[in-house]
Amino acid sequence: MAKLLGALNHTNGLESTTARGLCPDTVDSPALNSVQTEFLDSMVDSVWTESAVSVGGMKMDPILILLRIVHVLGGVFWAGAILFVVHFLEPAVRDAGPDGATVMQALRKRRYLEAVPVTAFLTLLSGYGLYWRTFGRLHPGLDASGPELAFGLGGLASLLAFVVGVTLLRPSALRIGALGAELARVPAERKAALQEEVGRLRLRMRKSGRWVAVLLSVAILSMAVGRYL
C-alpha cells in the first residue's frame, strides 16, 4: 500500500490527501475515477493545509480531523435524536395517553430541547467549515462538481431542518410543557380551552417534526454518497 500511495502521490500530487485525514484506503483504491480524483485534488488545495503536521512519516491535518469528529458525531446525534423521537417516541407517547405527558416532562428535564439545537448548530458550523475548506466557498456555483452539489444539497437541507426545528418544533414543545403545568392549576372552565391549544400545538409539533426528519434524511443521504458522485 505504501508503494501505491507513493505512486499516487507522485502522479496525482495527492500527497496532501492523507494530510486531509482521508482514510488511506480511499487513496489506495485502484478504482478511483477522474471525478473522484478531481474531488480529492480539490481537497488538497485546502485553505488550511498549513495546519498539517507530520506524524510518523504520515501527514495529518489536526484541524480537519477535529472538524470531522465534531461534524460526524454531531450529525449522528442530531439526526438520530430527531428520527427516534419522530418515528418512535412521539407515537408511543401518544398511545400512552395522559401518562405520555410524564415521559415528555422527563425528557425535558434531561435537557433534550437544549442538547439537540446546540448539537445541530455545531454540526452546521463544522459542516460549513469542511465545505469551505474543501471547495473554497460556502455554496455550490454553476461550475460545481458532483460532490460539491451533493454536499451543498445536504448542507442546505440541514440548514432548513435547523430553521424549522428552532422556529416551529422547539417552541411548540416548550409551550406544550408550559401548558401542561398550567393545566394542573387552572379552574375547570379554563381547561377545555387549554387542552384545545395543546392539541393544536401537538399537531404542529408532529408536522414540523416530520419535515425536520425528511430534511435530515436528505442530508444523511447526500453526505453518505457525496464523495462518490
Q: Contact positions toward ligand HEM, by CB under 6 A?
A: 68, 71-72, 75, 78-79, 123-124, 127-128, 130-131, 134, 151, 154-155, 158, 216, 219-220, 223, 227
Quote the cell numbers at residue 141.
456555483
- Asked if 60 contacts 18 with a C-beta cutoff of 8 angstroms, the reply is yes
CB of 32 to ligand HEM, least distance (A): 14
- Asked if 79 contacts 220 with a C-beta cutoff of 8 angstroms, the reply is yes
Quote the cell numbers at residue 218.
436528505
Q: Which is nearer to ligand HEM, 72 or 107 (CB)?
A: 72
Count of CB atoms situated within 10 Å of the CB of 186: 12
Residue 111's SS3 state is coil
CB of 39 to ligand HEM, least distance (A): 9
Q: Which is nearer to ligand HEM, 81 or 89 (CB)?
A: 81
CB of 215 to ligand HEM, least distance (A): 9
CB of 29 to ligand HEM, least distance (A): 13
Q: Is 212 buried (19+), middle (13-18) or exposed (0-12) by CB count in 10 A?
A: buried
Q: Which is nearer to ligand HEM, 205 or 216 (CB)?
A: 216
CB of 12 to ligand HEM, least distance (A): 17
Quote the cell numbers at residue 7.
505512486
In the 8-state DSSP scheme, what is residue 102? H
What sections of the chain are H helices per DSSP? 2-12, 15-19, 24-28, 34-44, 62-84, 90-95, 98-109, 112-135, 146-164, 170-183, 188-225
CB of 134 to ligand HEM, least distance (A): 5
Q: Which helix (H) or strand (E) holds 53?
A: strand 53-55
Q: Which is nearer to ligand HEM, 154 or 209 (CB)?
A: 154
Q: Which is nearer to ligand HEM, 52 or 220 (CB)?
A: 220
CB of 64 to ligand HEM, least distance (A): 6
Q: Which is nearer to ligand HEM, 71 or 93 (CB)?
A: 71
Q: Which is nearer to ligand HEM, 164 or 201 (CB)?
A: 164
φ, ψ (nearest 5 deg) of residue 58: -100, 135
